[in-house]
């Protein structure tokens, strides 16, 4: 793992159209977020991590054999580590959330082709981070955004891309799914067409689900979740030790939880975003009257 100290994350301004679209839909497509050579390096790294899964003989009728959702060990691969502060996506996340964020989860999802007539496996509509389990569906807060990097094309329906229910991030109630069916009614279910290298951002409140891969190729994505620093990272996120973090690039250090507690200001991204006038200042505790 290279610490890349001294290298600064470039700035890309979130456009008003991107913000509007993200706020209306609960998701946002960022085309060409990754260069073709980066996609290639990520596929090589992902294939190494998925080697035993990819070597399994085809079992078309057992969809559960065909889905890999791998979380531990992702950051041990250099190409995957380098995505932590990727300059075409993380600046947009900072502008959509705030500088006070860290990496919350990393997942490699591979889906092998499955029987097109089989019942969809893991069709499980949900909102992320389980907040509604405690707070209900009313007035849920936006606390995190996932970036789904496409490592393969998703040009056909049911080709393995995570499916979104547009606009449901503000829905104050559960989804309504007719008995015997797998998808909700009264909402727009979006199986988005994407190219390898595109990134799909989706926020924690949007209802989404895994979808089957009925194509004839393995579908491959990496999903990196960013959340406010007061959200505990997923247990599978393996963070390098403190000695490494002390030498790391300051933004990477912050994103990997390198500050002792949440009362320590998010120095690295705060300085970075002030330099570009990228984010509103945090509200004060008190005001003069
Ligand atoms: O496409 C998938 O497997 C679903 C991913 C998902 O639900 C998630 O990352 O929260």
Q: Is residue 63 over pLDDT 80?
A: no
Percent of the chain at pLDDT > 90 equals 80
Any atom of ligand 1 within 6 Å of the Cβ of 162 = yes
Q: Is residue 33 over pLDDT 60?
A: yes
Any atom of ligand 1 within 6 Å of the Cβ of 114 = no
pLDDT in tens, 169-180: 999 999 999 998
Give dist(CA 118, CA 101) in Å, integer: 40
CA 192 / ligand 1 centre spacing (Å): 14
Q: Is residue 143 over pLDDT 90?
A: yes
pLDDT band at 152 (very low <50, low <70, confident <90, very high): very high
Any atom of ligand 1 within 6 Å of the Cβ of 148 = no
SS (H, E, C) the chain: CCCCCCCCCCCCCCCHHHHHHHHHHCEEEECCCCCHHHHHHHHHHHHHHCHHHHHCCCCCCCHHHHEEEECCCHHHCHHHHCCCCCCCCHHHHHHHCCCCEEEEEEEEEEECCCCCCCCCCCCCCECHHHHHHHHCCCCCCCCEEEEEEECCCECCCCECCCEEECCHHHCCCCCCCCCCCCCCCCCCEECCCECCCCEEEEECCCCEECCCECCCCCEEEEEEEEEECCCCCCCCCCCCCHHHHHHCCHHHHHHCCCCCCCCCCCHHHHHHHHHCCCCCCCCCCCCCC
Q: Is residue 12 over pLDDT 80?
A: yes
Q: Which residue has the higher pLDDT, 116 or 107?
A: 107
User: Mean pLDDT across the stretch 39-53?
Assistant: 98
Q: Looking at ligand 1, which atom is closest to the CA of residue 122?
A: 3
Q: Which residue has the higher pLDDT, 116 or 2?
A: 116
Any atom of ligand 1 within 6 Å of the Cβ of 210 = yes
pTM: 0.95
User: Mean pLDDT across the stretch 16-44?
Assistant: 98
Q: What backbone torsions phi and psi does residue 6 show, to the nearest 5 degrees?
A: 100, -25
Contacts (Cβ under 8 Å, ≥6 apart) of 111: 66, 67, 68, 160, 212, 213, 218, 219
Any atom of ligand 1 within 6 Å of the Cβ of 109 = yes
Nearest residue (CA) to ligand 1, atom 5: 210
pLDDT in tens, 187-216: 999 999 999 999 999 999 999 999 989 999
Quick one: pLDDT at residue 122?
64
Of the residues 162, 191, 214, 236, which should be mutated to test ligand 1's pocket, given the most ligand atoms within 8 Å of the CB? Answer: 162
Q: Which residue has the higher pLDDT, 181 or 273?
A: 273
Q: Write down the mean pLDDT value for the chain.
A: 93
Q: Is residue 23 over pLDDT 60?
A: yes
Q: Is residue 6 over pLDDT 60?
A: no
pLDDT in tens, 263-282: 999 999 999 999 999 988 88
Nearest residue (CA) to ligand 1, atom 9: 223
């Amino acid at each position: 793992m290279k610490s890349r100290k001294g290298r600064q994350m470039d700035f890309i301004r979130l456009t008003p159209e991107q913000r509007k679209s993200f706020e209306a839909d609960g998701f946002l497509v960022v085309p060409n977020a990754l260069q073709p050579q980066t996609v290639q390096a990520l596929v090589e790294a992902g294939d190494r991590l998925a080697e035993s899964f990819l070597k399994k003989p085809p079992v078309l009728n057992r969809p559960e054999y065909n889905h890999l959702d791998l979380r531990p060990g992702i950051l041990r691969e250099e190409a995957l580590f380098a995505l932590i502060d990727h300059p075409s996506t993380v600046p947009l996340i900072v502008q959509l959330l705030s500088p006070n964020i860290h990496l919350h989860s990393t997942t490699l999802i591979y889906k092998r082709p499955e029987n097109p007539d089989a019942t969809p496996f893991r069709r499980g509509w949900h909102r992320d981070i389980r907040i509604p389990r405690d707070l209900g569906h009313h007035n849920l807060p936006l606390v995190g955004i996932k970036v789904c990097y496409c490592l393969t094309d998703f040009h056909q329906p049911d080709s393995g891309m995570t499916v979104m229910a547009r606009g449901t991030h503000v829905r104050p109630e559960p989804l309504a799914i007719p008995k015997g069916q797998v998808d909700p009614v009264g909402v727009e279910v979006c199986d988005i067409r994407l190219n390898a290298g595109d990134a799909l951002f989706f926020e924690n409140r949007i209802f989404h689900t895994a979808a089957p891969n009925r194509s004839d190729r393995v579908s491959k994505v990496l999903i990196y979740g960013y959340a406010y620093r007061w959200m505990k990272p997923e247990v599978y996120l393996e963070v390098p030790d403190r000695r490494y973090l002390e030498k790391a690039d300051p933004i990477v250090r912050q994103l990997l939880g390198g500050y002792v507690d949440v009362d320590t200001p998010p120095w690295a991204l705060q300085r970075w975003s002030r330099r570009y006038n990228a984010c509103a200042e945090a509200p004060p505790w008190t005001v003069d009257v």
